[in-house]
Amino acid sequence: MSAFLGPIHFMMYNKIQRQNNLLDDVINYIESNSIIADFSAKLKEKYGENEREALESVIDQNAIHAWLNNQVNIAEGRLAYAVKLILEKDESLFKNILDIFYNDGMQCRLEHADIIVVEELFKVLNITLLDGMPCDGGIIVLHNDGSEILWEVNLQVHKPFYDNENMSLEQFFALRDKWLQGFFAGSFNIEYSYLGNNVFKIVEV
């Protein structure tokens, strides 16, 4: 059955799973502290749930791209709605969500501890962070000279989900920045910075 599936499909599915595992950490924090009643149920009611089983056993082989795109939409919608519910409950809670993202970034870096080259680390980001489908142009490289990379996140990839919740992308970029801070926290030879206006930079020092 997997003969119709290529590496890019598994990469996309893994990115979706990674974001959902991160959202699971947020859900566990909210529910274990009884902050929002039926938090997980609220997300499921509005956006459904992503598939979690092996890709080969759940994907629609007759509409692979559409199926994956729908899974991306579910994952993005769930995260945006989760952020909205948390902010509506208590804006001061957001700092705890930022900490969860930071810790996840650190954990991801540990999984790739042997990589210390800027270009290779950037590749890790591109196979880890969910920025729409490959054809969406979610990441735009503005500069790459081998030791310094500047890239831009395409606003249109994420904006519709936050528009749907009547939110700006401020919180999305705060979460992305915090995750990247965690990812590069232990990189002695890499400096990371968020330049604002959805532009990020890493440079070897």
Sheet with 148-153, strands from edge to edge, namely 139-144, 148-153, 199-204, 190-196
Total structural domains in the chain? 1
Show the domain range for 67. 2-204
pLDDT digit string (tens) for 89-142?
Answer: 999 999 999 999 999 999 999 999 999 999 999 999 999 999 999 999 999 999
- pLDDT at residue 1, as a whole number: 41
pLDDT at 122 (0 to 100): 97
Find the CATH number of the domain harbouring 176.
3.90.1520
The rounded mean pLDDT for the chain is 96
Q: Which of 154, 13, 136, 160 is nearest to 81 (CA)?
A: 160
Check if the beta carbon of residue 29 is closer than 8 Å to that of residue 71: no
Q: What is the pLDDT of residues 35-72, one digit of tens each?
A: 999 999 999 999 999 999 999 999 999 999 999 999 99
Q: How confident is the model at residue 2 (pLDDT cuts 50, 70, 90)?
A: very low
Question: CB of 78 within 8 A of CB of 23?
Answer: yes
Average pLDDT of the residues in 179-189: 94
CB contact set of 159 (below 8 Å; sequence gap of 6+): 169
Banded model confidence at residue 186, pLDDT cuts 50, 70, 90: confident
